[in-house]
Structure 1
């Protein structure tokens, strides 16, 4: 990262409003350093205490090219935080008797015909990622002024039933976009307008919208730190919400047990937070279950917590709340390199609550493993080179094995560098080039061992 931007990150840390605490003081100190280390352009953090925003910190740059600093009221793409907000909308309709969460969705659909094998899918299954649908085309992005594919057309192209409905957890953007279509067909209303009237406006999220806002926003940045042009998705329910950190903090606070909100009944909120399905795979490292639009976990002291994060092209987001005590946190960034930053903040937030790090903080484990792998690769490189110059007998089979390992160790970083996205890039934005370089050196050492002239008898 250029030294000028590093200096700007430190200079533009601007905590605003609310109370001062050990955690807010620590974040004001460490967040700029972590952002500089990982090449994160900007971020806004909100701490929630007693069910209300207590501290907000704006860090870094909204537009580094124009020298525009990040501000607390900046408008972000919040990506998959759209899902819990969508779930609130669906629950308002359910409580009003306008949507049956447990009825087959085929009865509602008028603009698209559900495949016969998917006939058992319900709104509850869509909102809990248990409908058996694939992830979907998360790269389907369009300029805001362009003609978008109609939602039924997009779903028809994206729909992929990978498991029997109700058979288990399968995270799916397609599922939430299908929920959007169900909501529109059941109510006869536009999804964005309905969500604003039923959820966003009543919760005070007046700057939030599921439609392109047409307002000045920070510039998003991809995993290589390059600026990202504005875009929208064909479906809005899975990742199309635009919001400020303050608005997402209002939404987070509305989910607290004693929240003063009139959108949902306490039972409706509790139903959103109650696990419907056990979470496995990579998601299982960070969560235990998934409710309706919310990941669930049990903290080390036995308290229940719910959360959701989001990652899109150039943007990242996270919200975490402990409903019974009114504690929460919101983190938004205009950089796709922010996952380790989020994990560090969540680790420190967990410590402030007196509990072990929440599941999402485990992203930092990847850094420890990567540093260990880098050290091992450097040792292999040194031992391989040293052994290659020794006048000792090296049988053919070990030499062939060393050659095969050398090819793999050299080839994978070259292949990875050519990819647009790998999970590795997200969890190791600052370390993966060092890991790739160390792997290449280890490959060179083993290659020298395989190719060096044989000595002895």
Structure 2
């Protein structure tokens, strides 16, 4: 009986492994074609499964002369994918008793001025507008918002539903230091980078401890009718909403450490990645939604005419996809008031291949 069970198990593994390999090969071919069609010079991708890297690939070259091959250590500006990292670092600081989640946004002495300016512009998430997802209420400068509201993108309208507001989120560093807390760069380095074993990552272009991050950068390109054309580097410093320069390999380290409970307590990790009692749409630095019965937790990154990024988790399956590019080719124009990552061709292909 033992030999029969062993033979059956070996047979099962032998039939399952080629199918998984075929899935990865098909996804690899899809991404290679996607990059070609979008004319992205450099792109990297990682799939994490059950706490380890199950598949990874680097495509193209990271310079305008086509001489530097892209590798998994190639560094990209990850734009708004910085937000989940910042949020996790701040929550770790809260749990350590060094910061209050109820810190008012007015701890930033310039919040009211920034808010009034935003409300008076034609920025969709500032003065009120609409997109394909529906009405966008204007930012509310009279309400007493807190750090809790900011991390869940609820500073517009009455706060009952999220409005993706990256300008408000960019006040994160000023709110933390304005309340007497440490510099956000130090908080992220101590609470995230060090325990996750992440190196060669710059938290803003002024980060003196950024290691080889800037030396390994894939420069940004703008898409034109004649093909990619090199453009200028983003020069915003690290404020929490964006500013991280890192590689897909390092983001995979963050993902693995987060799932393993090395960055936050089990309760806090469950709060970030669990299904309940969290609100759909956006919470604690992540977009949140369901797709065909699967909970999805994700973030996109978009720097116009420069970079784009995707970080997609399927927590119940312990499955993650990370993709970085040095053009805006990964961007799909997602709504400011709805979480709908399946509208991305890359996300849809990944979900249909691995998460059904």
Flag the 1:215–1:354 CA change in 2: closer, same or farther, 3 A: closer
Flag the 1:81–1:354 CA change in 2: closer, same or farther, 3 A: closer
How far apart are the structure 2 equivalents of 1:253 and 1:309? 19
Deviations 1:8-42 (A, max 9, x none): xxxxxxxxxxx972222113323222222222222
How far apart are the structure 2 equivalents of 1:46 and 1:65? 25
- Equivalent positions of 1:221-370 (< 5 A) are 221-224=221-224, 225-256=228-259, 259=260, 261-273=261-273, 288-300=280-292, 302-313=293-304, 314-339=306-331, 343-355=344-356
- Which residue matches 1:58? 58
Shift of 1:231: 2.6
* Structure number with higher relative contact order (C-alpha < 8 Å, ≥ 6 residues apart): 2
- 5+ long unaligned stretches in structure 2: 1-18, 116-140, 333-342
Deviations 1:304-332 (A, max 9, x none): 22010100131010111122321111000
Task: Give the secondary-structure state (helix, strand or coil) at the position aligned to 2:144.
Answer: coil
How far apart are the structure 1 equivalents of 2:355 and 2:313? 14
Q: Does 1:201 align with 2:194?
A: yes
When Rg is computed on C-alpha atoms for both structures, the one with the higher figure is 1
- 5+ long unaligned stretches in structure 1: 1-18, 133-162, 279-287, 356-457
Deviations 1:150-196 (A, max 9, x none): xxxxxxxxxxxxx34x2432211122221221122234422212211
Shift of 1:119: 4.9
- Which residue matches 2:144? 120
How far apart are the structure 1 equivalents of 2:288 and 2:262? 23
- Which residue matches 2:203? 210
Shift of 1:235: 4.9
- Which residue matches 1:76? 76
- Which residue matches 2:10? none
Q: Does 1:33 align with 2:33?
A: yes
Shift of 1:103: 4.2
How far apart are the structure 1 equivalents of 2:218 and 2:50? 30
More strand by share: 2
- Equivalent positions of 1:399-418 (< 5 A) are none
Deviations 1:370-419 (A, max 9, x none): xxxxxxxxxxxxxxxxxxxxxxxxxxxxxxxxxxxxxxxxxxxxxxxxxx
Task: Give the secondary-structure state (helix, strand or coil) at the position aligned to 1:68.
Answer: coil
How far apart are the structure 2 equivalents of 1:289 and 1:229? 33
More helix by share: 1
Contact 2:105 2:147 in 1 (8 A): yes
Contact 2:203 2:238 in 1 (8 A): no
Shift of 1:104: 2.6
Q: TM-score, length-normalised on structure 1?
A: 0.59
Matched positions, count: 290
Q: TM-score, length-normalised on structure 2?
A: 0.74
Question: Aligned-residue CA RMSD in angstroms?
Answer: 2.5
How far apart are the structure 2 equivalents of 1:247 and 1:87? 17
- Equivalent positions of 1:72-111 (< 5 A) are 72-106=72-106, 108-109=107-108, 111=109
